[in-house]
């Protein structure tokens, strides 16, 4: 992987921060920029398949407050997906 420094205007970083906040899980900015660039290039015919990128789960700092999440994780995931 090659490292590149990118300067973003305030308007774009504000929009990026709002997007990250709305996702409920703050992905690293670098991951979002890679995904956006991948999609941009794919739509123009320069990139056919996105490379595999591991899904990273960041645990909540204080936990969910529920005691049965490990047993009923599928139900919680389905409920969350239904609300989106």
Q: Is residue 53 part of a domain?
A: yes
Instruction: Report pLDDT for 49.
Output: 65
Q: Is residue 54 part of a domain?
A: yes
Question: What is the spatial distance between Cα 64 and Cα 17, in angstroms, rounded to a whole number?
Answer: 23
What percentage of residues in the chain have a pLDDT greater than 90?
Answer: 13
Q: Is residue 4 part of a domain?
A: no
Q: Is residue 36 part of a domain?
A: yes
Q: Is residue 1 part of a domain?
A: no
Instruction: Give helix then strand counts, H and E, for the chain.
Output: 3, 0
Domain of residue 31 covers 10-83
Total structural domains in the chain?
A: 1
pLDDT band at 8 (very low <50, low <70, confident <90, very high): very high
Question: What is the spatial distance between Cα 69 and Cα 55, in angstroms, rounded to a whole number?
Answer: 19
Whether residue 54 is predicted with pLDDT greater than 90 in this model: the reply is: no
pLDDT band at 51 (very low <50, low <70, confident <90, very high): low
């Amino acid at each position: 992987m090659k490292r590149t420094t990118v300067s973003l205007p305030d308007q774009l970083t504000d929009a990026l921060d709002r997007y990250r906040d709305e996702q409920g899980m703050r992905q690293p900015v670098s991951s979002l920029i890679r995904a956006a660039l991948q999609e941009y290039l794919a739509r123009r015919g320069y990139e056919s398949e996105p490379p595999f990128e591991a899904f990273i789960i960041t645990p909540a700092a204080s936990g969910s407050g529920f005691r049965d999440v490990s047993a009923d994780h599928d139900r919680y995931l389905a409920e969350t997906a239904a609300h989106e």
